[in-house]
Amino acid sequence: INISVFPPSNACIGRYILNMQITSCGHTYQRCLGDFYVLFNPWCADDPVYMDNQAHREEYVLNEHGILYEGVHKHITSRPWHFGQFEDGILDICLKILDMGASYHHGSDRDHCWRNDPVHVSMVVNHMISSHTTNSIMKIPENNDYLKGTKPFSWNGSVPILQQWYNGRCRPVRYGYCGSLASVMCTVMRCLGIPSRVVTNFCFPCSIENPLGINEIFDCTGKNLCGKDKLWRYHCWNESWMARRDLNQCCGDWQCLDPTPLETGRGSACSGPTWVRSIREGELDLDYDGHHVFSRVNSNYVGWLSQNNAKKTKFFCDTWPCGQHLITKSVGSEQFEDITGTYKYELGSVKNKEAYYRAYRRIHPGYCNASNCHIERELSSLKNPFLSDSGINMRLKMANCPMYGEDVQLHWLLENLRSENKNLKFNLCAQIITYSGCPMDQFWKDSVNVTLGPREVKKIPLCISYSQYGPYLCDHNIMKVVAVSDPECGELLMVSRDIVVNRPPVIVKLLSQPRLKVPCTAEISFCNPLQEDMKNCVMTLEGCGLFKEPMTIDLGTLASNQQARTIVEFTPYRLGSHRLLANLGCHKF
């Protein structure tokens, strides 16, 4: 007997058992024919996750390989990620996640009716990633302390994380960061049939007191002080494609889902789903957490000087709006796609201002009847004065793209805009900054007296040696260089630059052509670029369809400029496009 099952488009997703009842000679008995799974179907026009573009379906549902974008907005770095949604056992793990999170909205899972709604399914998955009190999939380390778990940046893919959670009786995996959380959620959503992608937002504000303002405070040496507000250098979240029947949408569109618990003033919480188009239009009353998402792509940055008497004064500095660059992996390409325009209109345009005023009135109820001019005056009073208003222009420009072990070279450009001499004294410093905006060690300081003639332009070279920053960089490969004028000079001037130090590459070379169920070899090589030993070197290899579980190779200690070569053998166990990932960890990073 051949049996075809055609579930309706509003069927609840999950695992079903198919029984056959047989009546013969007055006797009735049942026979189990097997089980089957029902998932959301983006190929079906009646399904709420329907996506009409085949290339997009292949990218956002079928593709197991992704790219995470990190760094800072002026220096974007990338690294590959294995989603692995088709690996053995992953579908059962994803359904287990729904079982564990079923009580999030409904108190009981006796009726599974919510499982046919991608909105409620996405909310449950979003909550389960890191917000569930006891059974969340992954934890974020507190105070950057991850000694009792795995380094957050050492993961290459979602499969080991999900397997560790499932095999560990659904206890949280330690530890992750926003990129791994968003990627794991992307894996779960794609596995359930919901088109999804990981988005990176550069200059991401996390402010408790002022939703549309982010404050960074510095002392007179240029040191970034740890305040309540945090300016994340980047932040990753998830976008999923679905028609929002709760918003009367008849067609699918991208919805923002952020599984990273962030402080909101009323405790930490994940956010979404939020219709991306409602953010661009400033229509914050339509959706879940709209005001949170809007503020995270539209807040204004303000830089302050804190002096000994605790008085704070605004700098003259050229600031930027937060959320100025949002990107994701392009369809069918290894390049990134700039999707900033889906979240906000072009800065300064009429539509951008109208959306901002509309959102401002919803975030600040006291301004619900205020005119646009009133709101604009209020916003202008909160911003930093421009550097040009002081008669000086400054910027820090990179002279090289430093690799771990190399000196950092910068050019400090100054221009006198006035027809009179300028005599200024500046304090300079460099400081480690985590990706989440936490200031760490200040490892370099200097003072410079600068004299600028009328309309003079001057270029001053700056160098920070590896011996100065190397002992402090660790896993955090971002540093901040700041120049502030001495308060005794009068006007307070500030210029800063975030710098990414690239990690040395690991080179993977295939030595034979991969064939299904035929052993294949690859050469993994790495050279220690430092003028010192690299201790506790461990290589982790991973690849969907290539390794059933990650392979770990202990390389021990690598001397300065020593080349390490390792030959590994693996047997591809399923067809498809595969990628071999190699990640090196040591006492330095």
User: Mind telling me the catalytic residues?
Assistant: 178, 235, 258
- Burial class of residue 451 in the structure, from the number of CB atoms within 10 Å of its CB (0-12 exposed, 13-18 middle, 19+ buried): exposed
Q: H helices then E strands: how many in the chain?
A: 12, 29
Contact by Cβ (8 Å): 56, 240: no
Q: Residues with Cβ < 8 Å from 32, sequence gap 6 or more? A: 17, 18, 19, 20
Q: Alpha helix (H) ranges present in 299-369? A: 340-343, 350-363
Q: Which two tokens stand for residue 398?
A: 């990179």
- State in Å, rounded, how far the first CA of the chain is from the last one: 59
Q: Residues with Cβ < 8 Å from 2, sequence gap 6 or more? A: none
Q: What is the C-alpha to C-alpha distance for residues 318 and 209, in angstroms, rounded to an integer?
A: 23
Distance of CA 426 to the CA centre of its chain: 35
DSSP H/E element including 293: helix 290-298
User: What are the E-state strand segments in 2-137?
Assistant: 14-24, 27-38, 65-72, 75-82
Would you list the DSSP string of 172-234? PEE---HHHHHHHHHHHHHHTT--EEEEEEEEEEE-SS-TTEEEEEE-TT-PEE--S-EEEEE
